[in-house]
């Protein structure tokens, strides 16, 4: 079975208000009154109208801002070269075509200049190992979009194991998370005439057999949670209207999300029907169907089923788990005999498979026909461990891969022991290794996209406000002068237990390092670099610790002489956009540039915007006075006030982003305009949470950002 995860990116500028904004323009500081529940309403926030993603008024404002920013940045003589350099990398024919295993060959999704929306294609393993594989097109998304007049973005597929012949293809119109699902035959490469079809929605499906599937969708507005996710699952049979399908599980509209699923092994055999209720983003209740009754599993809210291997069901836990007189530490793997569990899910004896040492944590995994592979981080250095159950005991062995690198599991087969691993670092292009149970061998190597000669990587530690040491990496020229003159781009994330790790810099190396810059990656609390404790110590009432850690890294860079505030820029997206927003509003004196990408920004209304309510477990609920007090302390939107010189932030977002929603970035830019301060705003009119939907759009976004950074941090007139 697939692993189950716990439910768990210039000088002064003239200010010209657009006609759409003029009717809503206000002067002075934001009103500090709030509605009865403490959440700002239209009387307190003059820019709530920008929360309507596609209203005529909001889109007119967006077009005016895009025109203004394009005039300021795309007219720079460096723009065309930067864009072309980025596009050459994205369209490169010799980049690694990452694949997934199937009975019909190795499958890859590919985008390039000729196929901007992409091809779903496949080849044989033997052909894949050659320098020029022979690819067979399975689905041409460009042709489909042209034929149907839609901005189709391929969002993946869900196939019936073990054959994987019948699949549900997910297609998003414009790149948003919500997708349309259509039945597709992978063997013939055709959509099934009269087959299963579901209109655009959030949610998921899972095949039970060739004629039956479990459907967890937003069937109507009454069956959506506050976070706009589904909380019911239906058993849908071929030829039946989805409206007539039997409901088999119902969570609560107060959940983040809920639904039913299937517990399968690597052969595709179904061992049980399971279900979950995401009672918060980081807390989940699990259930198992026992003769038609849902039995709640007696496991911690921050533990989850992990997969079936060697006749055992594995659990993973993010907190210490006490069972009888034994305590399984946070981040460990725990096994129960599968047959014993099926007979008595809560009484089956539990055995420790693995527990982390200091500064170790799990990072993804895969189950092949005979083995369990788990990625690990050991002081932010990657490795992969293979686990097996033999002679009544669990054994582990480290896979022979290069050290001092970021190592991941790129693909695996559930039917065989075939598996692929990726290995990379900041300056070394990604290498793909292949194994069929033995020692991995190099199968593909990515080309070099920038000249890494003369650069070096160092790891340092900054001391945060509470005395905690926070590691960070710096990629810089060898022998760099410590006179504070080097332009540095600093990035990070620091949320949701997601680690940010060294990986080949690619376009950043070409567009930034080769143009005289250095790069810094921070590993702040709130992320997952050192396990669940590293995350849980910086959420909710302690979220300020993440922002303190990031600011401490900036201070440390200046104190060491690596750079100075006028040459220090920061960049982050999504939660990373919130990170950048808090940093430049709390310490505007420390930064010369700030790229606030697809961000969270108005944290007093974030639960009302997009899917924000799903993240209350990370940040808190601004409707509750005690929790609103945590959030008011850092919400960047409310920190944009008169009398402070901010470092001309560059906000960018996507109209089709139905996750963090473009309103956050829009409102930040509108507030900067109201204050008469320099800023930039750009909104991609298509593309979802990750930005552009094709390489041309991605290259344009990259070029705009790096022109901005060069103007702000490197040009002599900007530094003065």
- Name the residues annotated as catalytic: 574, 689
Q: CA end-to-end span of the chain, whole Å?
A: 59
- Determine the Cα–Cα distance for residues 72 and 81; give it in Å rounded to an integer: 16
- Determine the Cα–Cα distance for residues 204 and 213; give it in Å rounded to an integer: 10
Total residues found in the chain within this entry: 720
Checking 642-645 for CB contacts under 8 A at 24+ apart, the result is: 642/28, 642/29, 642/675, 644/588, 645/588, 645/677
DSSP count for the chain of H helices, then E strands: 16, 39
Phi and psi at residue 606, to the nearest 5°: -60, -30
Given a contact cutoff of 8 angstroms between Cβ atoms, the answer to whether 600 and 574 are in contact is yes
Task: Kindly give, in sequence order, each residue whose CB lies less than 8 Å from that of residue 654, ignoring residues fewer than 6 positions away.
Answer: 175, 598, 662, 683, 684, 685, 686, 687, 688, 689, 691
Sign of CA dihedral 709, 527, 689, 364: positive
Three-state SS for 612?
helix
Count CB atoms within 10 A of the CB of residue 56.
9
- Determine the Cα–Cα distance for residues 254 and 231; give it in Å rounded to an integer: 9
Sign of CA dihedral 631, 636, 637, 639: positive
Given a contact cutoff of 8 angstroms between Cβ atoms, the answer to whether 455 and 475 are in contact is yes
Strand order in the sheet with 293-296: 257-264, 270-280, 283-290, 293-296
Count CB atoms within 10 A of the CB of residue 561.
14
- Determine the Cα–Cα distance for residues 317 and 299; give it in Å rounded to an integer: 9
Three-state SS for 107?
strand
Nearest to 562 by CA among 668, 458, 659, 685: 458
């Amino acid at each position: 079975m697939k692993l189950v995860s716990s439910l768990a990116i210039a000088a002064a500028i003239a200010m010209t208000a657009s006609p759409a904004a003029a009717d809503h323009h206000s002067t002075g500081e934001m009103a500090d009154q709030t509605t009865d529940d403490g959440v700002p309403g239209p009387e307190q926030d003059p820019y709530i109208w920008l929360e309507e993603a596609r209203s005529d008024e909001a889109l007119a404002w967006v077009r005016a801002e895009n025109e203004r920013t394009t005039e300021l940045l795309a007219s720079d003589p460096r723009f065309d070269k930067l864009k072309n350099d980025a596009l050459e990398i994205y369209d490169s024919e010799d980049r690694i075509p990452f694949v997934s295993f199937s009975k019909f060959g190795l499958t890859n999704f590919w985008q390039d200049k000729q196929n901007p929306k992409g091809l779903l294609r496949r080849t044989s393993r033997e052909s894949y190992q050659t320098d020029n594989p022979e690819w067979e097109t399975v689905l041409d998304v460009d042709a489909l979009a042209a034929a149907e007049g839609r901005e189709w973005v391929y969002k993946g597929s869900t196939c019936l194991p073990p054959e994987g012949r019948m699949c549900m293809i997910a297609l998003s119109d414009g790149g948003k998370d919500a997708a349309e699902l259509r039945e597709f035959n992978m063997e013939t490469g055709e959509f099934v005439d009269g087959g299963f079809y579901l209109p655009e929605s959030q949610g998921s499906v899972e095949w039970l057999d060739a004629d039956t599937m479990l459907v967890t969708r937003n069937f109507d507005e009454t069956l959506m949670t506050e976070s706009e996710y589904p909380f019911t699952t239906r058993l849908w049979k071929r030829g039946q209207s989805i409206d007539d399908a039997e409901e088999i599980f119902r969570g609560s509209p107060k959940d983040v999300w809920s639904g039913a699923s299937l517990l399968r092994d690597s052969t595709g055999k179904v061992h049980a029907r399971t279900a979950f209720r995401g009672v918060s983003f980081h807390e989940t209740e699990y259930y198992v169907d026992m003769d038609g009754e849902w039995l709640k599993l007696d496991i911690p809210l921050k533990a989850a089923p992990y997969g079936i291997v060697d006749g055992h069901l594995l659990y993973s836990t993010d907190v210490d788990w006490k069972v009888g007189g034994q305590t399984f530490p946070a981040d460990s793997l725990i096994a129960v005999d599968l047959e014993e569990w099926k007979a008595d899910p809560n009484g089956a004896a539990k055995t420790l498979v693995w527990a982390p040492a200091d500064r170790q944590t799990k990072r993804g995994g895969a189950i092949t026909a005979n083995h369990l592979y788990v990625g690990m981080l050991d002081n932010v250095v990657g490795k992969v461990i293979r686990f097996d159950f033999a002679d009544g005991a669990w054994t582990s062995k480290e896979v022979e891969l290069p050290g001092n690198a970021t190592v991941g599991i790129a693909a695996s087969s559930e039917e065989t022991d075939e598996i692929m691993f990726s290995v990379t670092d900041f300056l070394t292009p990604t290498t793909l290794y292949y194994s069929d149970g033995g020692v991995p061998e190099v199968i593909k190597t990515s080309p070099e996209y920038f000249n890494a000669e003369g650069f070096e990587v160092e790891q340092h530690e900054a001391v945060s406000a509470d005395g905690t040491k926070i590691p960070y990496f710096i990629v810089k020229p060898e022998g760099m002068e410590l006179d504070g003159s080097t332009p540095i781009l600093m990035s990070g994330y620091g949320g949701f237990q997601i680690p940010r790790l060294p990986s080949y810099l690619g376009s950043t190396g070409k567009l930034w390092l080769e143009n005289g810059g250095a790069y810094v990656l921070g590993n702040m609390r709130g992320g997952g670099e050192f396990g669940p404790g590293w995350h849980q110590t910086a959420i909710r009432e302690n979220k300020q610790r993440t922002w303190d850690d990031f600011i401490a890294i900036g201070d440390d860079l200046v104190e060491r002489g690596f750079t100075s505030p006028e040459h220090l820029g920061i960049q982050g997206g999504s939660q990373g956009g919130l990170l950048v927003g808090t940093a430049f509003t709390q310490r505007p004196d420390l930064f010369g540039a700030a790229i606030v990408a697809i961000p969270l920004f108005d944290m007093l209304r974030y639960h009302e915007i997009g899917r924000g309510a799903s993240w209350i477990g990370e940040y808190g609920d601004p409707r509750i006075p005690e929790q609103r007090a945590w959030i008011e302390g850092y919400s960047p939107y409310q920190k944009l006030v008169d009398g402070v010189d901010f470092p001309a932030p560059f906000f960018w977002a996507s109209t089709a982003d139905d996750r963090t929603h473009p309103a956050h970035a829009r409102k930040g830019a509108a507030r900067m305009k109201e204050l008469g301060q320099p800023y930039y705003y750009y909104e991609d009119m298509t593309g979802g949470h990750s930005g552009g939907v094709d390489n041309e759009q991605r290259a344009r976004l990259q070029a705009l950002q790096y022109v901005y950074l060069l103007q702000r941090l490197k040009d002599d007139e900007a530094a003065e």
